[in-house]
Amino acid sequence: MATTIKTRPTGSRSKLPGLVKSLMGAAAFATMALTAPISLAEVNTTGLAVTEDTVQVGILHSVTGTMAISETGSVQAEKLAIEQINAMGGVLGRKIEYIQEDGASDWPTFAEKSRKLLVNDKVAAVFGCWTSASRKAVLPVFEQYNGMLYYPTFYEGLEQSPNVIYTGQEATQQILAGIDWVVKAKNAKTFYLLGSDYIWPRTSNKIARKHIEKLGLKVVGEDYYPLGHTQFNSIINKFKLKKPDVIFASVVGGSNVAFYKQLKAAGIDMTKEKPLVLTISVTEDEILGIGGENIDGAYASMKYFQSLTNENNIAFVKAFKERWGDDIVIGDVTQAAYLGPWLWKAAVEAAGSFDIDKVRAASPGIELTTAPEGYVKVHPNHHLWSKTRIGNAKTDGQYEIVYETPELIEPDPFPEGYQ
Amino acid sequence: MFADYSTSELMSIFAMQGFAGLILFSVFVLMALGLAIIFGQMGVINMAHGEFMILGAYVTYLTSNVFADYMPSLFGSYFFIAMILAFIAAGALGMFVEWALIRHLYKRPLDTLLATWGLSLILQQIYRSVFGAREVGVTLPDWLMGSIQLTDIVEVPINGIFVMSLAITISLIVAILMYKSRWGIQVRSVVQNRPMAGAVGINTARVDRLTFGLGCGIAGVAGSAFTMIGSTGPTSGQLYIVDTFLVVVFGGAQSLLGTIASAFTISQAQSTMEFFLSGSMSKVLTLLFVVGILMLRPQGLFSLKVRR
């Protein structure tokens, strides 16, 4: 892992305390900066859990209950990032200590635990949540007690809180690029939209439908199944009847496994791309449960795949496997979770303070050149500029990257004309 | 909606849709048989039924790994051995649970609900600690994958046929056990009148333990078969529990025939509606339909005439 994090000069940089500036100037004596932290009074004026040599943060994910399947990877990524930051000397000369709380896949528990982290523990930042429901549950708490949440999951957008940094993609970043690609590269004309029945797939499909219709193409069907649904034979027959060019799928959780297994069993060979399956919900994590042979040939539209070959990612994958075991896989959200502590560190250093308000003011414009996905930048709307990639699933459970957007895509959580 | 399609296309689709309904029917029968035995014959509300199914799924996962590592040449046939092992493992756990927990609660049937719900949480956490929170992928032998092409459009998934034949086989075995064997007569007599059955020399405690074990064992086999069509994770069992209770209660708790009739009705209604409506809406309508029937016939479709 390269050890430099470049931060764009921002307005707040000029407000840095003089001591920081002089330390930064003494770059040759970098070790000095580690041993002589800035005085406590300067970096923490609001009574956060910061001491002369430590700073406490919270990790809030489900490690029990149904969401543990998905959130485990995020916890691992956040811990790895924190350990790496500590190995480099911490943040403003202070080692990060984390307090981990279990949201237990239960949204009121998330709210209660976030209150505990902010009020009792007075943590400087929280890395956590996974489902939109859990984020919505903690949002009022973070806004009331002025906390800072780094939220890793790709999600439906339509939200922008001063107390949240969204390190995953919002829906338009993921969907528009995916559909544009499939239209251009595969000459797709007709689409069938399928999702689990809750807010993220419904919002995503709404955006997808508007975009498809704007392009003058046709949506031949749109269907939702309850979360946890395990029988997809009827919908597969509908595919066979309507013969769409593309099945646009946002099925989640255990349903995912059932859907792809049954698709395969019904004789739809996805490698033939008739129809082509384009998903926005299957990361490498999900393929572990689905089985590579059952999803071989499907395409996914996301910002990160484990198979990315840039230097940052090679180092990241190596470090992740060394820390958490060789047979582990890393999906889109796991990588986004890994960005959280790094973005926070960069913002704190730019602000020269742990104070939430100063970190918030310093956050827009923070860049990370060491991100495994390449390069990301925080937008004033608290989402990240990022590239979207198209991956083609292979039997070994990895994606082969077939396309990458040439430019960073601007996050647009309130897309006009798509609501 | 059908104007654009030729008659032969429509015929093929309806044929396949009928088949999809039959697969769903088989899945329901497999899910519900074990519970019908436990709930129907013993009156125990087993909320951990799904977890017994997932135990079967994990046993299948372990068996497939062992075969892949040590006996790759026999991999094609591991599934049958996995099902037998799943039956033994789930059945043994069932008998242990009956001995340790359930037998103390026979006089308080509603408390079995709480106790087995607690058991289901414990089992979920054990799976999570042992196998990890993530779902595991079970590799299937090649002959179970893919489909048989009958005409241009009509394709029949092989694992669907497998699930159907398994459902039929197990139903027949259970029917013979219950209605033709000496043990079946004992089970039914214990259900009808426990003190009298004890008085004529039936070891009611042993009958209870075997019945519970059999129900759990069948759940294990079902879980093993479902690795073909569904997910295997610590909480996957929760996906099945609602449908399972629905089928058993709708059928009339004490009747195996009722369970099968109810599985057939619900599966056909659901798969037909799924084709014309969206998935969520058909689920809602199915539930409404079941609620409606149960209001008219609280005892379910079929019920035993027993003097209480």
Give the bridge partners for A248, in sequence order. Answer: A193, A278
- pLDDT, tens digit, for every residue of B102-158? 989 888 878 888 999 999 999 998 998 898 877 888 888 888 877 888 777 778 888
Nearest to B37 by CA among B163, B161, B222: B222
pLDDT at A193 over 70: yes
Closest residue of chain B to A72, computed from CA coordinates? B133
Q: Is A271 on the interface with B (CB under 8 A)?
A: no
pLDDT of residue A31: 44
Task: Provide mean pLDDT across the span A326-344.
Answer: 95
User: C-alpha distances in angstroms, B302 versus A51, B148, B156?
Assistant: 70, 37, 32
What the block records as the tokens of A202 is 């419904």
pLDDT interval class at A23 (50, 70, 90): very low
pLDDT of residue A334: 96
Give the bridge partners for A222, in sequence order. Answer: A193
Closest residue of chain B to A104, computed from CA coordinates? B125
- pLDDT, tens digit, for every residue of A39-95? 888 888 888 999 999 999 999 999 877 777 788 899 999 999 999 999 999 999 999
Cβ contact, residue pair A293, B139, below 8 Å: yes
Closest residue of chain A to B26, computed from CA coordinates? A231
Residues A155 and A178 placed together within one structural domain of the fold: no
Residues A143 and A248 placed together within one structural domain of the fold: no
Residues A256 and A368 placed together within one structural domain of the fold: no
- As a whole number of Å, the end-to-end CA separation of chain A is 41
pLDDT of residue B263: 93
State percent of chain A over pLDDT 70.
Answer: 91
What residue numbers bound the domain in which A88 lies? 11-169+308-385
CA distance B276 to chain A (A): 9
Q: Are A347 and A363 in contact (CB under 8 A)?
A: yes
Cβ contact, residue pair A224, B280, below 8 Å: yes
CB within 8 Å of chain B, chain A residues 168-227: 197, 222-226
- Residue matched to tokens 């069948």: B218
Q: Are A159 and A116 in contact (CB under 8 A)?
A: no
Interatomic CA distance for residues B41 and A151, integer angstroms: 50
Residues A284 and A314 placed together within one structural domain of the fold: no
Give the bridge partners for A277, in sequence order. Answer: A247
Question: Can you give B110-159 as a three-state secondary structure string?
Answer: HHHHHHHHHHHHHHHHHHHHHHCCCCECCCCCHHHCCEEECCCCCEEEHH
Cβ contact, residue pair A231, B27, below 8 Å: yes
Residue A364 lies in a domain: yes
pLDDT interval class at A34 (50, 70, 90): very low
Residues A216 and A92 placed together within one structural domain of the fold: no
Cβ contact, residue pair B155, A267, below 8 Å: yes
Residues A397 and A258 placed together within one structural domain of the fold: yes
In three-state secondary structure terms, A400 is strand
- Among B16, B24, B136, the residue with its CB nearest the CB of A237 is B16
Interatomic CA distance for residues A60 and A327, integer angstroms: 25
CA distance B230 to chain A (A): 4
Residues A110 and A28 placed together within one structural domain of the fold: yes
- Among B24, B233, B278, the residue with its CB nearest the CB of A289 is B233
Interatomic CA distance for residues A290 and A277, integer angstroms: 15
Cβ contact, residue pair B230, A256, below 8 Å: no
Give the bridge partners for A392, in sequence order. Answer: A299, A400
Residues A115 and A243 placed together within one structural domain of the fold: no
Strand order in the sheet with A149-151: A95-102, A54-61, A126-128, A149-151, A164-166
pTM for the model stands at: 0.84
Best mutation target among B280, B281, B284 (most A Cβ atoms within 10 Å) is B280
Closest residue of chain A to B161, computed from CA coordinates? A265
pLDDT interval class at B304 (50, 70, 90): low
pLDDT of residue A407: 93
- Among B9, B146, B230, the residue with its CB nearest the CB of A258 is B230
User: Chain centroid to CA B60: how far?
Assistant: 16
Cβ contact, residue pair A267, B280, below 8 Å: no
pLDDT at A32 over 50: no
CA distance B308 to chain A (A): 39
Cβ contact, residue pair B146, A267, below 8 Å: yes
pLDDT at A288 over 90: no
Interatomic CA distance for residues A206 and A208, integer angstroms: 5
Closest residue of chain B to A69, computed from CA coordinates? B134
Best mutation target among B58, B75, B124, B239 (most A Cβ atoms within 10 Å) is B239
pLDDT interval class at A30 (50, 70, 90): very low
Residues A124 and A67 placed together within one structural domain of the fold: yes
CA distance A262 to chain B (A): 6
In three-state secondary structure terms, A128 is strand
- Among A63, A235, A237, the residue with its CB nearest the CB of B13 is A237
Cβ contact, residue pair A234, B128, below 8 Å: no
Residues A118 and A232 placed together within one structural domain of the fold: no
What the block records as the tokens of A28 is 């040759």
Strand order in the sheet with A389-393: A218-225, A190-196, A246-250, A276-279, A299-302, A389-393, A399-404
Q: Which residue has the higher pLDDT, A224 or B301?
A: A224
Q: Which residue has the higher pLDDT, B110 or A185?
A: A185
- Residue matched to tokens 């079970």: B138
CA distance A307 to chain B (A): 20
pLDDT interval class at B2 (50, 70, 90): low
Quote the number of domains for chain A: 2
Nearest to A331 by CA among A373, A367, A370: A373
Interatomic CA distance for residues A99 and A111, integer angstroms: 16
Residues A227 and A290 placed together within one structural domain of the fold: yes
pLDDT at B305 over 70: no
Cβ contact, residue pair B157, A266, below 8 Å: yes
Task: Provide mean pLDDT across the span B77-88.
Answer: 93
Q: Which of A104-108, A231-235, B190-194 has the lowest mean pLDDT?
A: B190-194
Task: Provide mean pLDDT across the span B218-230.
Answer: 91
CB within 8 Å of chain B, chain A residues 24-63: 63
- Residue matched to tokens 């060491």: A370
Which of chain B's residues have a Cβ under 8 Å away from the Cβ of A266?
147, 155, 157
Our CA angle for A223, A225, A226, nearest 5°, is 150
Interatomic CA distance for residues B262 and B246, integer angstroms: 9
Q: Are A250 and A218 in contact (CB under 8 A)?
A: no
What the block records as the tokens of A246 is 């593309």
pLDDT of residue A279: 96
Which of chain B's residues have a Cβ under 8 Å away from the Cβ of A253?
231
CATH code assigned at A30: 3.40.50.2300
Domain ranges in chain B are 23-241
CA distance B160 to chain A (A): 8
Average confidence score pLDDT of chain A: 89
Residue A149 lies in a domain: yes
Task: Provide mean pLDDT across the span A130-146.
Answer: 94
Nearest to A140 by CA among A102, A106, A98, A107: A107
Nearest to A131 by CA among A105, A166, A102, A112: A105
Task: Provide mean pLDDT across the span A167-175.
Answer: 94
- Name residues whose C-beta falls within 8 Å of residue A197's C-beta, 6 or more positions apart in sequence: A224, A225, A226, A227, B279, B280
Which of chain A's residues have a Cβ under 8 Å away from the Cβ of B155?
266-267
CA distance A102 to chain B (A): 14
Which of chain A's residues have a Cβ under 8 Å away from the Cβ of B65?
none
Cβ contact, residue pair B160, A258, below 8 Å: no
Task: Provide mean pLDDT across the span B175-189.
Answer: 90
pLDDT at B178 over 50: yes
Which of chain B's residues have a Cβ under 8 Å away from the Cβ of A328?
none
Per-residue burial over A54-74, b = 16 or more CB atoms within 10 Å of its CB, e = otherwise: ebbbbbbbbbbbbbbbbbbbb
- Residue matched to tokens 């704190």: A348
Which of chain B's residues have a Cβ under 8 Å away from the Cβ of A219?
none
Q: Which of A97-111, A254-268, A340-354 has the lowest mean pLDDT?
A: A254-268
Q: Are A387 and A374 in contact (CB under 8 A)?
A: yes
Closest residue of chain A to B269, computed from CA coordinates? A234
What the block records as the tokens of B246 is 């629905």
pLDDT of residue B1: 57
SS3 content of chain B, % helix, strand, coil (to 5): 75, 5, 20
Peptide bond before residue A411 is cis, with ω within 30 degrees of 0: no
Which of chain B's residues have a Cβ under 8 Å away from the Cβ of A222?
278
- Taking only Cα atoms into account, the Rg of chain A, rounded to an integer number of angstroms, comes to 22
Q: Which of A269-273, A367-371, B143-147, B261-265 has the lowest mean pLDDT?
A: B143-147
Cβ contact, residue pair A265, B230, below 8 Å: no
Closest residue of chain B to A231, computed from CA coordinates? B24
Task: Provide mean pLDDT across the span B239-268.
Answer: 87
Residues A57 and A165 placed together within one structural domain of the fold: yes
